[in-house]
Amino acid sequence: MSFPQIAQRLDKFRNEMIDLQVRLASIPAVSPSSGGEGEARKAEFLLGYLKDNGFQDIEVIKAPDLDAPAGFRPNILAYFRGRSASKTIWIMSHMDVVPPGELSLWKGDPFKPWIESGKIFGRGVEDNQQDLVASIFAVKAFWDLGLKPAFDIGLAIVADEETGSDKGIAYVLQKSKAFRKGDLILVPDAGNEDGTLIEVAEKSILWLKFKTLGKQSHGSMPERGINAFKAASHLIVELNKLYAAFPQNDPLFDPPISTFEPTKKEANVPNINTIPGEDVFYLDCRILPHYKVEEVDSKIKEAMAGVEKKFGVTITVEDMQRAPAAPPTSPTAAVVKALEKAVKAVYGKEGRAMGIGGGTVAALFRRMGYEAACWSKLDETAHQPNEYCIIDNMVGDAKVFAHIMMQD
Ligand SMILES: [Zn+2]
């Protein structure tokens, strides 16, 4: 068998792939915590489809959820057996979608997908159905041609990715022994427009709220008050020294450094002639995995103490988000090398292992010691109105998956 033969077969599947996309996007699968009914109906449809299209050993892992009408959130593990069972090539995609948001911003009904100039529009078509469908058809091409991939293929089609994965892959990892250390784990839920970004690492995220308390007074009598805004402004300047305190540079990341940026600022007094007695601002830190988040904490505490002493204010800090980075997947891991080969063969581009500033669901695998990589060729229209999937990307991604399945 040759790769062009499989690629050709996938080109012929183009209309069938569009059809499956449209059918999936017509079944809303919004999580109960976002006001939906969950993935049960979508999973039921998919189970039938997988059975009819060559998948063997299909398992459903149900995470209990009393807020879902079905009472559970379904997670599907579906296998297609290869010549060797010594490892499994996993592709994980998710069934749930985010709510459509403001409907007037959509050109059509988000759950009645439509096609326009080479794109499918609808909620969930890119995130994550593009690659859910692509992974199914990569396998279907082997089945249709009567071929066996080099190793077992496993599709993990999970729930609850958009609201934290507790009833999705986190539950599966807890309940199932399906994943093994030597497996290739591919999560096609992050990427870039030309398909060159292979995500292997992430920064820790730390979002903080700083509240500075001084003493309000008349604008003409600053000495009778303590200007909380002024003290907080000095704190912001002090916090900028975090850049110098944590200077590590890692070219795996873009930007290659840790970042510490003041962002949101709450309103204080409504009038100009009052010295504000209270000030609230926020800091968004993205910290390279080389540093412990606690090291940053202690530097921040020092800065706060300095400003408190100098200005006589009281400053408190509160976590808005604290997500320590998972250990990175090595840029030379088997899953990265396999992706690089496949991306080169299908898209003619050099894939590049990189870290990103935000967390992905691959972190859940990495924390448990599995090497997982995120990759997809996409326009990043996820979560936006008029979300779309470029049909060529869907077919191309299927070829990339099939190429990996062929590699020895
Ligand atoms: Zn997603």
In this structure, is the dihedral angle defined by the CA atoms of residues 6, 8, 13 and 14, taken in order, positive or negative? positive
Question: 125 CA distance to ligand 1 centroid (A)?
Answer: 10
Q: What is the tens place of the pLDDT at every residue in 131-162?
A: 999 999 999 999 999 999 999 999 999 999 99
Question: 401 CA distance to ligand 1 centroid (A)?
Answer: 18
Q: What is the tens place of the pLDDT at every residue in 265-311?
A: 999 999 999 999 999 999 999 999 999 999 999 999 999 999 999 99
Question: 307 CA distance to ligand 1 centroid (A)?
Answer: 42
Q: Coil, strand, or helix at residue 219?
A: coil
Question: 162 CA distance to ligand 1 centroid (A)?
Answer: 6
Question: 150 CA distance to ligand 1 centroid (A)?
Answer: 28
Question: 354 CA distance to ligand 1 centroid (A)?
Answer: 18
Q: Rounded to an integer, what distance in angstroms lies between the CA atom of residue 354 and that of residue 20?
A: 32
How does residue 357 score in pLDDT terms, banded at 50, 70 and 90? confident
Give the DSSP letter of residue 381: -
pLDDT at position 1 is 67
Question: 161 CA distance to ligand 1 centroid (A)?
Answer: 7
Kindly list the catalytic residues.
96, 161
Q: What is the tens place of the pLDDT at every residue in 374-403?
A: 999 999 898 999 999 999 999 999 999 999
pLDDT at position 99 is 95
Q: Rounded to an integer, what distance in angstroms lies between the CA atom of residue 132 and that of residue 189?
A: 10
Using CB atoms within 10 Å of the CB of residue 52, give its burial: 0 to 12 exposed, 13 to 18 middle, 19+ buried: exposed
pLDDT at position 100 is 95
Cis amide prior to 255 (ω within 30 degrees): yes
Task: Give the closest residue to 273 by CA, choosing from 226, 217, 223, 233.
Answer: 217
pLDDT at position 254 is 87
Cis amide prior to 128 (ω within 30 degrees): yes
Helices (H), 196-314: 228-239, 242-245, 293-311
Question: 156 CA distance to ligand 1 centroid (A)?
Answer: 13
pLDDT at 408 over 90: no
Cα 319 to the center of its chain, rounded Å: 21
Give the DSSP letter of residue 164: T
Q: What is the mean pLDDT of the chain?
A: 96
Question: 77 CA distance to ligand 1 centroid (A)?
Answer: 18
Q: Where are the beta strands (DSSP E) in 95-170?
A: 114-116, 119-121, 151-158
pLDDT at 197 over 90: yes
If one counts every other C-beta atom within 10 angstroms of the C-beta of residue 358, the result is: 11
Cα 286 to the center of its chain, rounded Å: 16
Question: 302 CA distance to ligand 1 centroid (A)?
Answer: 39
pTM for the whole structure: 0.88
Q: Rounded to an integer, what distance in angstroms lies between the CA atom of residue 24 and that of residue 29?
A: 9
**Do the Cβ atoms of 95 and 53 come closer than 8 Å?**
no
Q: Which of 207-216, 322-331, 333-342 has the lowest mean pLDDT?
A: 322-331
**Do the Cβ atoms of 165 and 323 come closer than 8 Å?**
no
How does residue 188 score in pLDDT terms, banded at 50, 70 and 90? very high
pLDDT at position 235 is 98
Give the DSSP letter of residue 224: G
pLDDT at position 288 is 96
